[in-house]
Amino acid sequence: MSIVPNSPALAELHHGAPCWVDIATTDLQATTDFYAGLFGWNFADAPGNAIALVDGVPVAELVAAAEPSAWTLYLNTPHARATAEKAQALGGHVLGEPSDTVTVIADPTGAVVGFRHVPPDWVFGTDGHGAYAWAELNTRDGNAADEFFGELCGYEITQIGDGQAVDYTIWATQGHTVLGRQRMGRAFTPDTPAHWMVYFTAAPEIGTDSAASRVLELGGRVTVEPYDTPFGRITVVADHTGAVFSVIDPSRTTPLSEEESTESRVDDPYDD
């Protein structure tokens, strides 16, 4: 069961707050075509990549690479190299050589996330159709994830499930809710790896269902059909390369039934 709290504006880039998302692709043109067709993104070209824009504001980056990747979430850090060293000391794994500004790690449960040191005037758009909306860590060891990121980023961690049937915590920094952590249960097949799920916004006039239909038209897949939650109507989809992400219309909120509030959804977005 995905629980997506209404997060505050993410422009206040405290340590540990989301500051960027990107995806690597072997065919930059095909990938820009897919997301332009889905979200109406415009693109600013840069060497080897394309910066996605919503209303002229940067929201994501598409990177040309020899190997494709999933969507990667980046969290703000005052110093990427120091964060990498601390992550290693806490039981995480540093993937590749960190720099002073960027590092990518795998946490002790196996999920991959990046850290970036961004300047004070950094812009990461979180408003409009196709803009970043939310991200949550899906893992089988919720306690280990909470402890690791709580120590690494200093998050204030609050359990909003019952801790048993629904084990979901929200992570806050300086009083601002910024991320979620969900313990994977029977909704996920045993071989589903720990992973971050990135959510993009569906504008109310377009809606989640239309976005899901558009994904199919563009050659992607709908892995979890649109469903209602107290935080918006959500669908989980995969792009033309198989990269999985979620789309949420936060204007469509529906209270959970008593049964839904005590059980996890039986949908695994990584199960074909």
267 domain-assigned: no
Q: Is the pLDDT of residue 270 over 80?
A: no
Per the structure, the count of domains in the chain is 1
Q: For residue 149, what are the domain limits?
A: 18-262
Q: pLDDT class for 256, splitting at 50, 70, 90? A: low
What's the CATH number where 25 sits?
A: 3.10.180.10
272 domain-assigned: no
For residues 47-71, give the mean pLDDT. Answer: 93
Q: How far apart are CA 265 and CA 79, in angstroms?
A: 38
92 domain-assigned: yes
Q: What is the pTM of this model?
A: 0.90
91 domain-assigned: yes
Q: Model confidence over 96-150: pLDDT tens digits?
A: 999 999 999 999 999 999 999 999 899 999 999 999 999 999 999 999 999 999 9
36 domain-assigned: yes
Q: How far apart are CA 89 and CA 101, in angstroms?
A: 19
- The bridge status of strand 232-238 relative to strand 244-249 is antiparallel
264 touches 161 (CB < 8 A):
no
